[in-house]
Structure 1
Amino acid sequence: MKKLTSIFLCLIGTTVLAQNSMMQNTKDALNVGGLKVGQHNSTMLYGFDTRTTEVLGSYYLDQDWSLATVRFYPKTISTPKGTVKLDSLTDVQIRIILYGNDVEFNTPEGVKVISGTLIKSFTLQKNNQLPKNYVSTLEFVDNYDKTKPSFFELLVDGKIKLLEYTKVNIQKPDYVEAFNTGSKDIKITKDKQLFITQGNEVLKLSTNKKEILELMSDKKAEVEAFIKQNDLSVKDRVDLLQIFKFYNGK
């Protein structure tokens, strides 16, 4: 595993020496204990007694570790080596726990967990794949309570952002001993949902062509012509990304 490194975004005029010192302090905050929630046992599902059941499915966004750049909300915390102002970490391996909104860090001292509410955004990078950008749901206003504290994948940036939210569903055991029916297992499924932004508000996207054209009313004729010329369908995820990229790029 690559050596864990960390970098702070510096203010204009900050010296390289000061930056390196902040980098080491941020690393210490994670490794020594300032950010530590605890050693995480990824076989456990918090809030459920799993001693006599199996967990079917995964509560991770991705079961595999991903190399990441993590950007924290500005926050000063206490560590055994003094106070540290959080900023960012680079070249770290992380996994996102959807249930409970926690983030695992794979460090030389073992797997450690911090609350996802401390993280503003992050970028994931895997071999032979394009980087994926994620932003905290706390960055947006959700007036209809369609999301919980977690992360949106930023599919398309621009005036109207296209976001993907992964909702985790947990089916509790429904075994009835008296009748020997039902299941003793905990079943986890994930549902990917599309959202768009209107200003700072997020709304669940309806994949209805008329509604999407109304959403892009300031360029409706151009978008409609683009859809027709390229034979695109708003029901198709790949086509939908093309439409939003076209609109935001105009």
Structure 2
Amino acid sequence: MKKLIYLFWALSSTAAWAQNTMMQNTKDALNAGGLKIGQHNSTMLYGFDTRTSEVLGSYYLDQDWTLATVRFYSKTISTPKGTVKLDSLADVQIRVNLQGNDIEFNTPEGVKVISGALVKSFTTYKQNQLPKTYLSTLEFVDNYDKTKPSFFELLVDGKVKLLEYTKINIQKPDYVEAFNTGSRDVKITKERQLFFNQDKEVLKLSLNKKDVLTPMEDKKSAVENFIKQNDLSVKDKTDLIQIFKFYNGQL
């Protein structure tokens, strides 16, 4: 048991015994291989022959390992050690691979990888920064297919949430040997896109005043006055956060 406990960082001593048992079962499942996809080679970009190429950019949400609490969808799975119910993990180090929607766990036994489709949400913690919470895109309905299975950063919670989606763009090598033109490298860029919700549906947010106020129709006059009095711009993300917080009664 001690060996399993130290596979991930110690659980909070203030948690209830039942919750600790559930979290330990989740850790056991990951350690036993029930959630394991495989050992992940973070230098490989799957689907591309990179033997003569370099990968420029990162396909991680954050390149660094980050301390996090991970909450799984409630699901019972079979492992070599028996049947366990997924719950949550606290104080673990993770990275999110945007290309395959995988979550990597940094453990003393190496990097272990699970499908992001098993994760409902996670919260990351960095020194001198506020915690960041991410929600699975599967929690919402995307009728216009603007997103793929991944995670939204929850910028503002409430009736109308402000969400940020990170889209990964991969430019394939376009080198033409006969003419010695183009690039042999795979180029990865990330594009941040803002969304809001209408009940369970998510819609891409256009950064103009009319579209920003559309989901706030019930408080339109008050929000307009707030924007004017504070000289806020709907094109500025920091100002948008203030606008959504005001609408949701958080200011």
Q: Which TM class, normalised by the smaller chain length?
A: over 0.9
Alpha carbons of structure 1 residues 159 and 23: separation in structure 2 relative to 1, 3 Å: closer
Q: What is the CA distance between 1:2 and its match in structure 2?
A: 9.1
Secondary structure of 1:202 counterpart: strand
Paired residue for 1:63?
A: 63
Is the 8 Å Cα contact of residues 25 and 84 (structure 2) preserved in structure 1? Answer: yes
Task: Give the AA of the match of 1:4.
Answer: W
Is the 8 Å Cα contact of residues 6 and 27 (structure 1) preserved in structure 2? Answer: no
Task: Give the AA of the match of 1:99.
Answer: Q
Task: Give the AA of the match of 2:58.
Answer: S
CA–CA separation in structure 1 for the residues paired with 2:90 and 2:19 = 14
TM-score (norm 2): 0.93
TM-score (norm 1): 0.93
CA–CA separation in structure 1 for the residues paired with 2:194 and 2:129 = 21
Identity fraction in percent: 79
Alpha carbons of structure 1 residues 75 and 6: separation in structure 2 relative to 1, 3 Å: farther
Paired residue for 2:91?
A: 91
Alpha carbons of structure 1 residues 20 and 162: separation in structure 2 relative to 1, 3 Å: closer
Unaligned runs of 5+ in 2: 1-5
For the aligned residue pairs, the C-alpha RMSD in angstroms reads 1.7
Moved over 6 A (4+): none
Q: What is the CA distance between 1:25 and its match in structure 2?
A: 2.0
Q: Deviations over 1:111-151 (max 9, x none)?
A: 11000000000000001100000000001000000000000
Q: What is the CA distance between 1:3 and its match in structure 2?
A: 4.6
Paired residue for 1:143?
A: 143
Is the 8 Å Cα contact of residues 68 and 123 (structure 1) preserved in structure 2? Answer: yes
Secondary structure of 1:216 counterpart: helix
Number of residue pairs the alignment of both structures matches: 243
CA–CA separation in structure 2 for the residues paired with 1:118 and 1:5 = 22
Is the 8 Å Cα contact of residues 72 and 118 (structure 1) preserved in structure 2? Answer: yes
Q: What is the CA distance between 1:213 and its match in structure 2?
A: 2.1
Is the 8 Å Cα contact of residues 196 and 203 (structure 1) preserved in structure 2? Answer: yes
CA–CA separation in structure 2 for the residues paired with 1:124 and 1:30 = 19
Is the 8 Å Cα contact of residues 29 and 84 (structure 2) preserved in structure 1? Answer: yes
CA–CA separation in structure 1 for the residues paired with 2:240 and 2:175 = 42
Q: Deviations over 1:188-240 (max 9, x none)?
A: 00000000001100000011112222321110110010001000000111111
Matches within 5 A, 1:1-250: 3-5=8-10, 16=17, 18-249=18-249
CA–CA separation in structure 2 for the residues paired with 1:88 and 1:242 = 31
CA–CA separation in structure 2 for the residues paired with 1:22 and 1:166 = 31
Q: Which moved more, 1:26-35 or 1:118-127?
A: 26-35
CA–CA separation in structure 1 for the residues paired with 2:118 and 2:7 = 24
Alpha carbons of structure 1 residues 20 and 196: separation in structure 2 relative to 1, 3 Å: closer
Secondary structure of 1:120 counterpart: strand
Unaligned runs of 5+ in 1: none
Paired residue for 2:3?
A: none
CA–CA separation in structure 2 for the residues paired with 1:93 and 1:99 = 19
